[in-house]
Chain A
Amino acid sequence: MTAVPVLLNTGARTVVGDAFSGDLPADFFMTLSGLAAGAARVSEQFDLNIGPPGPMIHRVWVRLQWAATPAADAVAEVYWCDWDNNASWPGGQLPTSDTGYASGSAGVSKAKSLPMIGVIQAETAAVGPFSRWFDVTTWSRYGSLMIVNRAAVALATNNDIHRIIIEPKWIEGQ
């Protein structure tokens, strides 16, 4: 089976990353450009495609940059949501498409019910870009990401610098 990375297009435009396209179902949107301090964004629901029986491990690469210098150690939190359609579970309460939430709003509080897979942290007081990977084990075909910018400054207004790539890691391929 071919690994099918999903490129999360974090810009405002539709760009397919050829290097990752393979037979991936589609790229998915998450508008991170200019994400304000304290604000959150939920990605479009993504389709990880049909995987092998059993859990799948996905490596999630995230790269972000701030618009102005944040304090050293400032973070943007990255949350993962496995999808279900039951409104009483977290996945059922998230929108299925690219959505913004204001700082301090009830929408940002939705993150409290989601597992945080980690943070992008400013290594020093610099705009970045800062990047890291997270490994996520999931049994679900569908998922969403939520990113909360906890820094005191907005993310860069830039369609290209912010990038998220979700790459399946098959057990037998390790």
Chain B
Amino acid sequence: MTRMHSTTFEDLRARLLTELTDAATAPRYAGLGLADFGLTGTGQAAPASPGSIAALEGLAVLLNEPVVVAAAPVYQDVPVSTVEGYMRLRTHIARLTRWVAATPLDQDDANNGPRDFAAELLDMMAGGNVGVFQTSVPAKRAAILGAFGSLAALGAGGFSAQSIADLEAMTIAPSTPPETAPHRWQWVIDGLSGVPGPPGQRGLPGPPNVADVDLLAELLA
């Protein structure tokens, strides 16, 4: 095994422990706890076992493979006509019209909000000046989906949880393909140096470019 200077070795160990326990990166190693790596959490090494060796092998693979990063969803505006088409195809317009007619307006009635929203929605679709639901704005998206959700909660117009999921899907722009980020070991060793030797003499190397089981076992012991 590569002989690193103890300073390099300790720096590397600290980086690795941060990598394994940091909230941002630890989920990648969710199936493996510190105990799986032969650590007790008290600075004392737990006895090596076949299980811990298998865990180290799994860890080495995770550290050395590129990370696939799913792109964050991008919200888009949805034309009213798109929603209208969706609602007409599922007879929501007809059913919502009946529900509005059958639901009396009452000062104390909890249904008033959804009823008013339904009435506005039907008006909007009967022809008006509103062209799009501005669901590209997160706050507006939440309000609009919330209003549809209030209809679904009452079962008004035949809206269901599935309807809301379908409407939500309309607000998400076609996804960009996931990207590949450098494997995490690269970040564990990023910028870590070896130690220069005295003048005229060779120094000691920095951390290796690839994590291997032997090195991990030594680092985590």
Are A and B a genuine interacting pair, yes or no? yes
> In the complex, are the beta carbons of A102 and B187 less than 8 A apart?
yes
Chain B residue nearest to A157 in the complex (CB): B210
Minimum Cβ distance to chain B for residue A26 (Å): 5
Minimum Cβ distance to chain A for residue B203 (Å): 5
> In the complex, are the beta carbons of A102 and B182 less than 8 A apart?
yes
Contact code string A17-40 (vs B, CB < 8 Å = 1, else 0)? 000000001111101111111110
With contacts A26-B200, A47-B199 known, is A100 near B192, CB below 8 A?
A: yes
Minimum Cβ distance to chain A for residue B206 (Å): 4
Interface of A, helix, strand, loop or mixed by DSSP? loop
Is the C-beta of A143 less than 8 angstroms from some C-beta in chain B?
no
Is the C-beta of A99 less than 8 angstroms from some C-beta in chain B?
yes
> In the complex, are the beta carbons of B210 and A33 less than 8 A apart?
yes
Which residues of chain B have C-beta atoms less than 8 A from A96's C-beta?
193, 196
Q: CB < 8 Å: which of B2, B181, B195 contacts A13?
A: B2
Which residues of chain A have C-beta atoms less than 8 A from B166's C-beta?
none
Q: CB < 8 Å: which of B2, B181, B190, B203 contacts A100?
A: B190
Number of residues of chain A lying within 8 A (CB) of chain B: 37
CA distance A35 to B206 in the complex (A): 12
Which residues of chain A have C-beta atoms less than 8 A from B138's C-beta?
none
Which residues of chain A have C-beta atoms less than 8 A from B202's C-beta?
9, 14, 26-29, 44
CA distance A32 to B210 in the complex (A): 10
Interface residues of A in 149-166 (CB under 8 A from B): 154-155, 157
Which residues of chain B have C-beta atoms less than 8 A from A33's C-beta?
208-210
Which residues of chain A have C-beta atoms less than 8 A from B201's C-beta?
26
CA distance A103 to B202 in the complex (A): 27
Is the C-beta of A72 less than 8 angstroms from some C-beta in chain B?
no
Is the C-beta of B79 less than 8 angstroms from some C-beta in chain A?
no
With contacts A31-B209, A36-B183, A104-B182 known, is A99 near B203, CB below 8 A?
A: no
> In the complex, are the beta carbons of A102 and B189 less than 8 A apart?
yes
Number of residues of chain B lying within 8 A (CB) of chain A: 28
CA distance A44 to B207 in the complex (A): 13
Which residues of chain B have C-beta atoms less than 8 A from A12's C-beta?
2, 205, 208
Is the C-beta of A101 less than 8 angstroms from some C-beta in chain B?
yes
Minimum Cβ distance to chain B for residue A146 (Å): 13
> In the complex, are the beta carbons of B209 and A97 less than 8 A apart?
no
Q: CB < 8 Å: which of A25, A26, A97 contacts B194?
A: A97
Is the C-beta of B197 less than 8 angstroms from some C-beta in chain A?
yes
With contacts A27-B202, A28-B202, A44-B202 known, is A36 near B186, CB below 8 A?
A: yes
Chain B residue nearest to A14 in the complex (CB): B202
Is the C-beta of A137 less than 8 angstroms from some C-beta in chain B?
no
> In the complex, are the beta carbons of A101 and B191 less than 8 A apart?
yes
Is the C-beta of A98 less than 8 angstroms from some C-beta in chain B?
yes
Minimum Cβ distance to chain B for residue A172 (Å): 25
Chain B residue nearest to A155 in the complex (CB): B209
Interface residues of A in 124-174 (CB under 8 A from B): 154-155, 157
Interface residues of A in 35-58 (CB under 8 A from B): 35-39, 41, 44-45, 47
Mark A residues whose CB is within 8 Å of B: 9, 12-14, 25-29, 31-39, 41, 44-45, 47, 95-105, 107, 154-155, 157
Given contacts A34-B209, A98-B193, A154-B210, 15 further A-B contacts (CB under 8 A): A26-B197, A31-B2, A47-B199, A95-B191, A97-B204, A98-B203, A98-B204, A99-B192, A99-B194, A100-B189, A100-B209, A102-B186, A102-B189, A103-B182, A157-B210
Closest 7 CB pairs of A and B: A34-B210, A102-B186, A34-B209, A103-B182, A102-B190, A97-B194, A98-B194
